[in-house]
Structure formats: C-alpha cells, structure tokens
Chains A and B, each alone.
Chain A
Amino acid sequence: GQQVMQIPQYQHVQEGEDFTTYCNSSTTLSNIQWYKQRPGGHPVFLIQLVKSGEVKKQKRLTFQFGEAKKNSSLHITATQTTDVGTYFCAGNRLTNAGKSTFGDGTTLTVKP
C-alpha cells in the first residue's frame, strides 16, 4: 500500500534558526497536505499543494511540492517558540476516495 515517510522524527532548534521537514511518498500523489499539532492539541490543517513544483508561503512557512509529485517539504524561517509542535504531511491519491495517508510527523522543539 501507499507509504508516506517523514524525516526527521524530531528536531531541536535554537529560536531564530531555520527548520525543515521532508515528506516522501512511495507513489505519485494527486495532492499533499500539511498539518500542525500543538502540544496537547489536535492536528490543524495548514495548506494543500496540488501542482507539480508548487511553492506556497504562509508568513515564515514555505511549502514545496516536488516536480514528480512524490515529495514535499515544509521550511520555517527564523523559528519562534510559537512554532513548537508536530508537523504532519498527508498524501492523497485520486483512487483513495478522500482517505489521506499521514506521515509519522516531525516534532519541533524550540529553545528560547
């Protein structure tokens, strides 16, 4: 079945440093989504990427979808303590009837 691998599992950064998490799918995706889960909270939808090579920005967050539509990344510039949490990618295929395959997440901690 479809697998979505996400690395790294954990990342500890100093406040102000950059952070990147990577997501790789074993199959070509129709789109990829990113979620953020704050400690003690639930996953919250951030963004969806659909087009090959697409790049989207949300303030300090930059999301990329690979040309082959099999990988994606989330980059945070100049991390802040409010960025702490677990970031999940979720891959989707048209044949999956709306069922996403989630990566295991990258947990980010930020030292002030």
Chain B
Amino acid sequence: DVKVTQSSRYLVKRTGEKVFLECVQDMDHENMFWYRQDPGLGLRLIYFSYDVKMKEKGDIPEGYSVSREKKERFSLILESASTNQTSMYLCASSFIGNYGYTFGSGTRLTVV
C-alpha cells in the first residue's frame, strides 16, 4: 500500500523551540508539499518541492523553512515556534503531472 508517513501524530513544543516535522513517501513522487489546516481556513500551502534540493514558497511561508535532501523525504522546520503555529500540519506528495495528491495522516502541533 502506497504511503506518506509523517513522523509524529501529536507534538507539543515550547515557544522559541526549533521544530522539525518529517515526511517520507514511498511512491517515488517528484512533488512534495506541506500544508497547514486550521478550522475555517481550509488547506493553506506552506512550501512545496518538485525535486531534490528544489523548493518554492507557498501562500504562508513566513516562520517556516523546508529541506529536501532526498527524493523521498521532505522536512518542515519551524525556526522558532510560536503559539500561532499551533495547527494540523499535512504533508502530501504527487507525481510531477499531479494525478492526485496522497496525504499523510497529519501532525497536530501544539506550541505552548
């Protein structure tokens, strides 16, 4: 069964901490994405990557960075976590032609 795996289902971090969210896909997809989902705001794109070491800003990149050193792994980094970054974070991947995204199960991050 094809999968997008996110390293943590629930995470609690303190304000100011550096936070790493990891995502791994086993489908040889070129594209990988990080979204955050908040009630009433839908899915908002943070960053995406269409190749190793390539990245593009999405709609809300402020306060985040990403890393893609290997094709199967896409990491989201919160440089200095803040309470307004408390959210559900969803990783997704797709082929370059985008025949549909496969989402991970999500990481619910709480920053206290």
- The interface of chain A, by Cβ under 8 A from chain B, is 33, 35, 41-45, 48, 88, 90, 92, 97-100, 102-105
Q: Is the CB of A43 within 8 A of B98?
A: no
In the assembled complex, the Cα of A42 lies from the Cα of B105 at a distance in Å of: 5
Pick the contact of A100 from B98, B102, B105 — CB < 8 Å? Answer: B98
Interface of chain B, main secondary structure: loop
Interface of chain B residues 86 through 106 with chain A (CB within 8 A): 90, 92, 94-106
In the assembled complex, the Cα of A102 lies from the Cα of B48 at a distance in Å of: 14
Q: Is the CB of B31 within 8 A of A103?
A: no
Q: Is the CB of B43 within 8 A of A98?
A: no
For residue A99, which residues in chain B have a CB less than 8 angstroms away from its CB?
Answer: 31, 33, 45, 48, 56, 58, 98
Q: Is the CB of A42 within 8 A of B50?
A: no
Sorting the interface of chain B by its residue count into under 10, 10 to 19, 20 to 34 or 35 or more gives: 20 to 34
Q: Is the CB of B45 within 8 A of A45?
A: no
Could you write out 17 A-B pairs with CB less than 8 Å apart? Answer: A35-B101, A42-B103, A43-B92, A43-B101, A45-B102, A48-B99, A88-B43, A90-B101, A98-B30, A98-B50, A98-B94, A99-B33, A99-B56, A102-B43, A103-B42, A104-B40, A104-B41
Pick the contact of A98 from B90, B97, B102, B104 — CB < 8 Å? Answer: B97
- Nearest first, the 5 A-B pairs at minimum CB distance are A104-B42, A45-B100, A98-B98, A42-B103, A102-B43
Pick the contact of B100 from A41, A48, A105 — CB < 8 Å? Answer: A48
- The interface of chain B, by Cβ under 8 A from chain A, is 30-31, 33, 40-43, 45, 48, 50, 56, 58, 90, 92, 94-106
In the assembled complex, the Cα of A37 lies from the Cα of B30 at a distance in Å of: 24
For A96, the closest partner residue in chain B by CB is B98
Q: Is the CB of B106 within 8 A of A42?
A: yes
* Nearest-Cβ distance from residue B59 to partner chain A, whole angstroms: 9
In the assembled complex, the Cα of A45 lies from the Cα of B97 at a distance in Å of: 15
For residue A45, which residues in chain B have a CB less than 8 angstroms away from its CB?
Answer: 100-102
Q: Is the CB of A43 within 8 A of B42?
A: no
Q: Is the CB of B42 within 8 A of A102?
A: yes
* Nearest-Cβ distance from residue A56 to partner chain B, whole angstroms: 13
